[in-house]
Chain A
Amino acid sequence: MESRNGNLVELRNVHKVYFRDRIEVPVLQGIDLTIREGEFVALMGPSGSGKSTLLNLIAGIDSPTDGEVRVAGESLGTLKPGKLAAWRARHIGFIFQLYNLIPVLTAYQNVELPLLLTKLSAKERKKRVLKVLGLVGLEARAKHFPRQLSGGEEQRVAIARAIVADPTLLVADEPTGDLDAKNAAEILTLLQRLHAELEKTILMVTHDPHAAERAEKTLHLDKGVLQP
Chain B
Amino acid sequence: MSVPLAYNLRNLFARKVSTTLTALGIGLVSWVFIFTLALAGGFQSALQKTGSHENAIVVRSGSTAELTSIIPREAAAAIESQPEIARAPDGTPLATHELVVLWNLERKNGTSTNVVVRGVTPKSFALRPRIRLVEGRMFRPGLEEVVVGRLANARIAHLAVGDRIKLAGRAWSVVGVFDAQGTSFDSEIWGDVELFMPVFDRPVYQSVTFRLDDPSHFGAIQKRLESDPRMSVQVKHEDDFYAAQSATLAGLLRGLGLFVTLIMALGAVFGALNTMYAAVGARAKEIGTLLALGFSRGAILTSFLIESVLLATLGGLLGCLLALPVNGITTSTTNFASFSEIAFRFEVTPSMLLSGMIFAAVMGALGGWFPSRNAARRVIVEALRQA
B293 and A113 form a contact (CB under 8 A): yes
Cα distance, A110 to B365, chains bound together (Å)? 27
Cα distance, A61 to B385, chains bound together (Å)? 12
B130 to chain A, nearest CB (A): 57
A48 to chain B, nearest CB (A): 14
The answer, yes or no, to whether B34 is at the interface (CB within 8 Å) is no
* Contact residues of B between 351 and 375, Cβ < 8 Å to A: none
**Known contacts A104-B14, A105-B4, A105-B7: does B384 contact A96 (CB below 8 Å)?**
yes
The answer, yes or no, to whether A90 is at the interface (CB within 8 Å) is yes
The answer, yes or no, to whether B6 is at the interface (CB within 8 Å) is yes
Interface residues on B, range: 20 to 34
List, in ascending order, chain B residues with CB within 8 A of A114's CB. 293-294
B289 and A96 form a contact (CB under 8 A): yes
A74 to chain B, nearest CB (A): 14
The answer, yes or no, to whether A228 is at the interface (CB within 8 Å) is no
A62 and B380 form a contact (CB under 8 A): yes
* Contact residues of B between 263 and 310, Cβ < 8 Å to A: 285-286, 288-297
List, in ascending order, chain B residues with CB within 8 A of A59's CB. 292
Contact of B297 among A81, A88, A103, A112 (CB under 8 A): A81
Cα distance, A210 to B290, chains bound together (Å)? 31
B294 and A102 form a contact (CB under 8 A): no
List, in ascending order, chain A residues with CB within 8 A of B294's CB. 85-90, 92, 114, 117
A58 to chain B, nearest CB (A): 13
The answer, yes or no, to whether B81 is at the interface (CB within 8 Å) is no
* Interface residues of chain B: helix, strand, loop or mixed (majority): helix
List, in ascending order, chain B residues with CB within 8 A of A85's CB. 291, 294-297
List, in ascending order, chain A residues with CB within 8 A of B11's CB. 104
The answer, yes or no, to whether B17 is at the interface (CB within 8 Å) is no
* Contact residues of A between 58 and 117, Cβ < 8 Å to B: 59, 61-62, 81-82, 85-90, 92, 94, 96, 100, 102-105, 109, 112-114, 116-117
**Known contacts A104-B6, A116-B4: does B381 contact A88 (CB below 8 Å)?**
no
The answer, yes or no, to whether B230 is at the interface (CB within 8 Å) is no
**Known contacts A85-B295, A88-B293, A114-B294: does B285 contact A100 (CB below 8 Å)?**
yes
A25 to chain B, nearest CB (A): 14
Q: Which residue of A lies closest to B385 (CB)?
A: A52
Cα distance, A90 to B294, chains bound together (Å)? 8
B1 and A104 form a contact (CB under 8 A): no
The answer, yes or no, to whether B16 is at the interface (CB within 8 Å) is no
The answer, yes or no, to whether A29 is at the interface (CB within 8 Å) is no
**Known contacts A61-B292, A88-B292, A114-B293: does B4 contact A100 (CB below 8 Å)?**
no
Interface residues on A, range: 20 to 34
**Known contacts A85-B295, A113-B293: does B6 contact A56 (CB below 8 Å)?**
no
**Known contacts A109-B6, A113-B290, A117-B294: does B14 contact A100 (CB below 8 Å)?**
no
List, in ascending order, chain B residues with CB within 8 A of A109's CB. 4, 6
B258 to chain A, nearest CB (A): 37
List, in ascending order, chain B residues with CB within 8 A of A116's CB. 1-4
* Contact residues of B between 3 and 60, Cβ < 8 Å to A: 3-4, 6-7, 10-11, 14
B7 and A102 form a contact (CB under 8 A): yes
B291 to chain A, nearest CB (A): 7
List, in ascending order, chain B residues with CB within 8 A of A96's CB. 289, 384
A61 and B10 form a contact (CB under 8 A): no
- Indicate with 1 or 0, residue by residue over A11-27, a CB within 8 angstroms of chain B CB atoms: 00000000000000000
Cα distance, A179 to B7, chains bound together (Å)? 27
Q: Which residue of B lies closest to A106 (CB)?
A: B6
List, in ascending order, chain A residues with CB within 8 A of B288's CB. 100
Cα distance, A89 to B290, chains bound together (Å)? 10
Cα distance, A85 to B299, chains bound together (Å)? 11
Among B11, B294, B297, find the residue whose CB has the most chain A CB atoms closer than 10 A. Answer: B294
Q: Which residue of A lies closest to B14 (CB)?
A: A104
Q: Which residues from chain B sit less than 8 Å from chain A, CB to CB?
A: 1-4, 6-7, 10-11, 14, 285-286, 288-297, 380-381, 384
In the assembled complex, 25 residue pairs joining A and B whose CB atoms fall closer than 8 Å, in A order, are: A61-B291, A62-B380, A81-B297, A85-B296, A85-B297, A86-B294, A86-B296, A88-B294, A94-B292, A96-B384, A100-B285, A103-B286, A104-B7, A104-B14, A105-B7, A105-B10, A109-B6, A113-B293, A114-B293, A114-B294, A116-B3, A117-B1, A117-B293, A117-B295, A161-B293
Given A90-B294, A116-B1, 19 more contacts at CB 8 Å? A56-B381, A62-B380, A81-B297, A85-B291, A85-B294, A87-B294, A94-B289, A96-B384, A100-B285, A100-B286, A100-B289, A100-B384, A102-B290, A103-B14, A104-B6, A113-B290, A117-B293, A117-B295, A118-B1
